[in-house]
A = this chain, B = another copy of it.
């Protein structure tokens, strides 16, 4: 008799964004004429950079010709992309990586979820609260106990170093959903905690491209000792508008080891390689060529312009909401603005009010965890026009 993985039965019924979609659809059904502005789900709106578009056309043409056709690629990705990543994203920050430490994938969401495959179900997992739901849901599926590390105004939304010994901790900076960033000193405290307790840090740096403050680290490997305790996840989704194209990458340093029950230290790099070779077959060649073009001189200029465009939205949203007397966090080195609801309104009520009275879709903070109650998240990924219009409408319903 076939049995289900029982852990799935412990999941909350509905994924946050599915619940939002349901409420928006219900409102839309009642109000078919409503002009809804979507600043909820963190999807981008600007087109792919011309350099990326050109590279993808070239890649398609290569596959149209028997002489240049590309079939199965390496499961861990093509060297042309891996080398571009190392040269542009890490070397300039003094982080030296070898090509076998970089694994190309179809996106950071897949990797932050799938990474659990190689870890014991007995590990106790720490997640910051509020948290990107994928960490919680995938570890619940994997049968792991989860501890929440509250992130609030008092600790700058970066979490206090836990008193207990956690086996694995997910960190995400710039943070989704709060838009908080962490200083070098703050991150060093997490690395020191990990080294002291033989804890593994899963560092989600999907939003690092939005950092403009030179004092803020982009990679956890800028921190002393991090290669012995951390995996880092990166994405082209927000950096270069690849939410539909699908490409990301994960760094697993060769020196990173965890424990086996027999007391040996096991290098995670080879284990993840084995996982990827058996349960993945490489990211699309066309997507990888597109990603490579992000690192060309033209590509860098073009994606920079798009990031600046979104960060101009972030400023509009931040300054508008502050002007309305709301308390606002994030949105300076991150594309998310974390907003205290007025007069202690709960998140879902404020979400509903903004939907019904302003036709603006946000994300209720409570959907990201208990510590998100009393906040909403607004994304800067809309257009200038929609961001300005949204703020005008929000003003009227406060």
Query: Which residues of A approach B to under 8 Å, CB–CB?
Result: 1-6, 8-9, 11, 15, 18, 41, 43-48, 50, 53, 56-57, 60-61, 63-66, 69-73, 106-107, 109-110, 113-114, 117-123, 133-134, 137-138, 141, 165, 167-168, 197-200, 241, 243-246, 258-261, 266, 268, 271, 274-275, 277-287
Instruction: Give the Cβ gap from A20 to chain B, nearest Cβ, in Å.
Output: 13
23 intermolecular pairs with C-beta atoms under 8 Å apart: A1-B259, A2-B120, A2-B123, A2-B168, A3-B120, A3-B123, A4-B118, A4-B120, A4-B259, A6-B261, A8-B271, A11-B274, A15-B277, A15-B278, A48-B64, A57-B60, A60-B60, A63-B245, A72-B244, A106-B283, A141-B279, A245-B286, A246-B283
This protein's copies in its complex: 2
A69: nearest residue on chain B (CB-CB)?
Answer: B47
Chain B residues with Cβ under 8 A from A1's Cβ?
A: 165, 167, 197-199, 258-259
Instruction: Give the Cβ gap from A61 to chain B, nearest Cβ, in Å.
Output: 7
Instruction: Give the Cβ gap from A56 to chain B, nearest Cβ, in Å.
Output: 5
Interchain CA distance A60-B279 in the complex, whole Å: 27
Instruction: Give the Cβ gap from A105 to chain B, nearest Cβ, in Å.
Output: 10
Sorted nearest first, the 10 A-B pairs with minimum C-beta distance are: A113-B279, A3-B120, A2-B200, A71-B243, A244-B285, A43-B71, A2-B258, A53-B64, A1-B198, A70-B244
A106: nearest residue on chain B (CB-CB)?
Answer: B106
Chain B residues with Cβ under 8 A from A69's Cβ?
A: 45-48, 241, 244
Contacting residue for A167 out of B2, B60, B64, CB 8 A: B2
Interchain CA distance A76-B259 in the complex, whole Å: 36
B198 lies within 8 A of A106 (CB): no
Interchain CA distance A158-B169 in the complex, whole Å: 47
Interchain CA distance A198-B263 in the complex, whole Å: 40
Interchain CA distance A254-B111 in the complex, whole Å: 28
Chain B residues with Cβ under 8 A from A45's Cβ?
A: 66, 69, 71
Chain B residues with Cβ under 8 A from A109's Cβ?
A: 279-281
Contacting residue for A260 out of B4, B50, B106, B141, CB 8 A: B4
Report if A284-B245 is in contact (Cβ < 8 Å); known contacts: A47-B64, A64-B53, A279-B110.
yes
Chain B residues with Cβ under 8 A from A138's Cβ?
A: 278-279
Report if A72-B43 is in contact (Cβ < 8 Å); known contacts: A199-B1, A260-B9.
yes
